[in-house]
Amino acid sequence: IAWFMLKGDGNTAPYRTADVDRGAITRSVSATGTLQPVVSANVGSTVSGPVKTVEVDFNSQVTVGQVLARLDPAPFQQRVVQMQASLAQAQAQYATANADYQRYVTLNNAGFASQQLMQQQRAARDTAAAAVAGARANLASAQTDLDRSVIRSPINGVVVDRQVNVGQSVAASFQAATLFTIAQDLSHLQANITVDEADIGDVRQGQDVDFTVDAFPDREFQG
């Protein structure tokens, strides 16, 4: 049996010494994720049509009510004009029906109109009044669609995503497609991360968080 003993060259100390110290042992949980605004709004359209203008871009500062884009207003304006004509026609028919009814009221007071005729004239007048109300509601709906052809910002913030271009057709459905995403305040962000099941038991509310982002790899941020 051969025994070997390795010896240093005499210049390097085989041991390193240090003073006894006390401190906390930190257990870190690592995970990856994305940073997102705390408050954001997805802006879509509830009416359909081709996009005529886009008036903001990425990183644009916007305020409540500011115009973001406009759809082609021509079909909506035409429907408003059509509903205005329908309302005028219904009002004219109501005026005729009401005049007939008032004439029969006079005849009835003089004893020349039966109750059956009065009921018929009253029903004709009420029907004409209902037609006026329906035409007025249709006009209001057409005007609302015209107003909605102008896409406006619901909040103050910054445009962080734009998914629409001039000439693109917007199709409204049960769930409006997102045209713009607006972040309310980029000075406050939240990190959406997925923590491994083996580590999630060590995570508690209020714990400090250190994180880095790809845009600034040499900087460390706290949360």
Q: In the predicted model, what is the mean pLDDT of residues 99-115?
A: 85
pLDDT of residue 8: 52
Look at the pTM and tell me if it is higher than 0.75: no
Mind listing the pLDDT tens digit for each residue in 153-195? 999 999 999 999 999 998 877 667 789 999 998 888 888 999 8
pLDDT of residue 83: 97
What is d(CA 179, CA 170) in angstroms, rounded to the nearest whole number?
9
167-178 b/e (C-beta count within 10 Å ≥ 16 → b): eeebebeeeeee
Q: Which of 65, 50, 67, 36 is nearest to 183 (CA)?
A: 36
pLDDT of residue 175: 67
Average pLDDT, the chain: 88
H/E element, 216: strand 216-222
User: Given pLDDT bands bounded at 50, 70 and 90, which one contains residue 9?
Assistant: low
Range of lowest pLDDT (23-32, 69-78, 129-138): 23-32
